[in-house]
Amino acid sequence: MNLENVNKVIKDFEKSIENPKKSKGKKLYTGVDLGTAFIVLCVFDEDKKPIAGAYEFAQVVRDGMVVDYIGACDIVRKLKSKLEEEIGDELIYAGCAIPPGTENIDGGAVKNVVESAGFITEKVLDEPSAANTLLKLDNGAVVDIGGGTTGISIIKDNKVIKVLDEASGGTHFSLVLSGAYKVDFDKAEEIKRDFNKHQEIFPVVRAVIDKIISIIDNACMGYDIDQIVLVGGTALLTGMEEYIEKKLGIRTLKPSNPMFVTPIGIALSL
Ligand code: ATP
C-alpha cells in the first residue's frame, strides 16, 4: 500500500465534491455507502477518475443493518439527482457494500435501496474487500472503526483471509461522552465530531479506545501483522493512529479521510 497514492485519490475525490466535472460521455460508476452516520455517493468514470460526490448525515443504518428503509431510499434518490444535475448526465451503474457475513440478512435490503433510487447494481461487495480496492494492502490488517462496531480484516497477499466484527465503535464513545458531559446523545455526537474538541475528549473516551485495541489485538493473534490501516468514521478521532501504534507496537496508518475509503473502493471496483 502506498499511503500517498491513497491520499491523492481521496483528495481528488474531495475536490470533485466541491467542483463536479462534466461526464464527457464516459461510462460512470457510483459507489454507494450506507453508513451509520453518513450516506456517501462517489462517482468515478471508466478511467477511474473521480467525477463527483455527495454525502449526507443520516441515521438510517445501524451496525450495518438498514433500520429506516424509506429514509435510506429518499436520501440516495436525492443525492443521485443532485449529482446528475451537477454532472449533466444520468447515473446508471452502481455498487454497494455490506458488512461481511450479512449477505443473507441485509445484503438484499442495501441493494434494494440502491435500486429504488434508479441505479442498476453491478456489484454488492463485502466492506473490507471494497476498502482494500483503494488501499491495495498486500499484507496487514484493515481496521474499520464504524458507528456500532469495529471490523478487523486480515489481508494476506492482497486477499481478505479473515474478518471479525465486534460491537464497539463510535456510538460507545458518544454514550460515554453523554454521561461525562451530562448532555443527550445527539449533543455528545456533535461534540465528538468537532475536531477542535478531540484533544479534550480523548482521555474521556480512552477506556473505549483501549477496548477497541484489545479487540484488534485478539483478532491479529496468530497472524504476522506488520501494519494496520484505519478506516471508518471513528478513525477520524485525532491521535487514534499514534495511540494504537504505541499500544500494539504495530505500524498504524490512517488515510487522510478514513470515511471515504470504502465508498471510493466500491466505485473503483466497478
Ligand atoms: P458500522 O460499521 O458500525 O455500521 P459505519 O461503517 O456505518 O458503522 P462510519 O460511517 O464509518 O460507520 O462511522 C460512523 C461513526 O463515525 C459515528 O459513530 C460517527 O459519530 C463517527 N464520526 C464521524 N465523524 C467523526 C469525527 N469527525 N470525529 C469522530 N468520530 C466521527
**Cα–Cα distance, 79 to 176 (Å, whole number):** 33
Query: If DSSP codes are grouped into helix, strand and coil, which group holds residue 144?
Result: strand
Q: Are 86 and 60 in the same domain?
A: yes
User: How many domains does one find in the chain?
Assistant: 2
Q: How far is the CA of 4 from the centre of ligand 1 (A)?
A: 23
Q: Are 222 and 144 in the same domain?
A: yes
Q: Are 27 and 125 in the same domain?
A: yes
Q: Are 25 and 89 in the same domain?
A: yes
Parallel, antiparallel or unpaired: strands 93-98 and 227-231? unpaired
Q: Are 91 and 206 in the same domain?
A: no
Q: Are 102 and 162 in the same domain?
A: no
- Mind listing the pLDDT tens digit for each residue in 53-85? 999 988 888 766 788 889 999 999 999 999 999
Q: How far is the CA of 85 from the centre of ligand 1 (A)?
A: 28
Q: Output the residue whose Cα is nearest ligand 1's atom 25.
A: 193
pLDDT of residue 64: 67
Residue 192: CB partners within 8 Å, gap ≥ 6? Answer: 170, 173, 174, 177, 201, 205, 237
Only one residue has cell 441485509, namely 106
Helix (H) or strand (E) holding 82: helix 69-87
Mutate to test the pocket of ligand 1, among 127, 215, 234, 241 (most ligand atoms within 8 A of CB): 234
Q: Are 22 and 115 in the same domain?
A: yes
Mutate to test the pocket of ligand 1, among 62, 96, 193 (most ligand atoms within 8 A of CB): 193
- Helices (H) and strands (E) in the chain — how many of each? 9, 12
Q: What is the interface pTM, i.e. ipTM, of the complex?
A: 0.97
Q: How far is the CA of 35 from the centre of ligand 1 (A)?
A: 8
Q: What's the DSSP call for residue 95?
A: E
Q: Are 121 and 146 in the same domain?
A: no
The grid coordinates of residue 74 equal 429518499
The whole-number average pLDDT for the span 34-43 is: 89
Mutate to test the pocket of ligand 1, among 33, 36, 41, 63 (most ligand atoms within 8 A of CB): 36
Q: Output the residue whose Cα is nearest ligand 1's atom 23.
A: 233
Give the CATH number of the domain where residue 74 resides: 3.30.420.40
**Cα–Cα distance, 77 to 55 (Å, whole number):** 12
Q: Are 103 and 147 in the same domain?
A: no
Range of the domain at 250: 138-256
Cα-atom radius of gyration of the chain, to the nearest Å?
18
- Mind listing the pLDDT tens digit for each residue in 184-203? 999 999 999 999 999 999 99
